[in-house]
Structure 1
Amino acid sequence: MARPAAPAVVTPTALLGAATLAQVRDLMDAAFDDFGDDDWDHALGGLHAVVVEAGRVVAHAALVQRRLLVAGRSLRCGYVEAVAVDPARRGTGLGTRVMSEVEAHAPAYDVLALSASERATGFYEARGWTAWRGPSSVLGPEGRQPTPEDDGGIYVLGGTGLDLDAPVACDWRTGDVW
């Protein structure tokens, strides 16, 4: 008989512990070619959905709070960061487990959002996420700055009544703003 799959556990950053945080960071480095210190910083300070098997982190997703500006409305956004599965375990349902856990927190926000890699768009679309069609920008130190390189890669879940063709702006942060 097959062993039951390990559940995804949701924990705030402050309670993860140094050893688990180090394993999550190692997972990010294994899963992505270009995961830097700014990317890591973006994933901290919120909630983490983590799957641990045999004492090792094999899947992770973070949910942090951000602000999005759409049509004059400032939206409380649950922003999904650092979604990764051990490369040897991709396609085994681990990504679905961690995403289900962060998506369960959608009622706490006006909208959930994330920036998807081209490789992951089908995964998010199958889960009900929708690509933002309008132009994107960031509310930076010098005012609103267009981010055309991010257009088409921003996905949202929820957000009743949002015009997905409207311009969308995110709050400023170092590194990748989306």
Structure 2
Amino acid sequence: MDAPWDLTVVHTADLGPRRLREVRFLLDDAFAGDVDDTDLDHALGGLHVLAHRDGRLAGHAALVQRHLVAGDRPLRAGYVEAVAVAPGERRRGLGAALTGVVEDLAGRAHEATFLGASDEGARLYRSRGWRVWSGPTGVMTPEGVRATPDDDGGVHVHDPAGALDVTARLLCDWRCGDVW
């Protein structure tokens, strides 16, 4: 059976103002308004997987590039942002479909793929082979490295070869809003 959604991949440069507004409205709907402009900003500058059903945006996931350091190893990493499924589309496989496209794209362009997951989202990612980063997390700020203990255990990695030591310290680049 064919998936009921039309999945397309679009670069941020080709989204246009109307589709960008649709993504923002979807994020607001999916997260009950618990998003802000930085959450959308973090999803810009890369690829967007859009899922439409009957001409309506039903789901979204973005893949952007970030510079991370795992232990002492700098990584050109894919980072998944703004994964959202419309409330009426949940528990039908759309989150897995979006994640599958992102995993394929990231696997062709990045050394590993990372994301910060909610408790609900974490179940999906673990079922797809993502591993919890169990080492300490931190951020490289203009003032130096700062620990992010509230994010420990919430970052997940997809590296199918299992080459990364998930017990090492993981640092991300600095940005406004939530750094992870």
Q: TM-score, normalised by structure 1?
A: 0.95
Q: CA deviation at 1:141?
A: 1.3
Please say if 1:177 is aligned against 2:179.
yes
Residue identity opposite 2:138 in structure 1: S
1:161 aligns with 163
Q: What is the aligned partner in structure 2 of residue 122 from structure 1?
A: 123
Of 10-19 and 143-152, the range deviating more from structure 2: 10-19
State the distance in 2 between where 1:19 and 1:64 align.
Answer: 21
1:28 maps onto 2:30 in alignment: no
Aligned counterpart, 1:76: 76
Higher mean C-alpha displacement, 142-151 vs 152-161: 152-161
Identity, % of aligned pairs? 47
Task: Name the SS of the counterpart of 1:27 in structure 2.
Answer: helix
Q: Quick one: distance in 1 between partners of 2:122 and 2:141?
A: 27
Q: Kindly provide the amino acid, as one letter, of the partner of residue 79 in structure 2.
A: Y
SS at match of 1:149: helix
Structure 1 stretches (4+) deviating beyond 2 angstroms?
none
Secondary structure at the counterpart of residue 40 of structure 2: helix
Gapped runs of 5+ residues in structure 1? none
Contact 2:8 2:50 in 1 (8 A): yes
Aligned residue in 2 for 1:15: 14
Give aligned pairs, total.
177
SS of match in other structure, 1:14: helix
Report the equivalent of 1:109: 110
Q: Supply the distance in 2 between the matched residues of 1:114 and 1:60 (Cα, whole angstroms).
A: 14
The two structures, once aligned, show a CA RMSD in angstroms of 1.4
TM-score after normalising by structure 2: 0.94
Instruction: Tell me which moved more, 167-176 or 24-33.
Output: 24-33
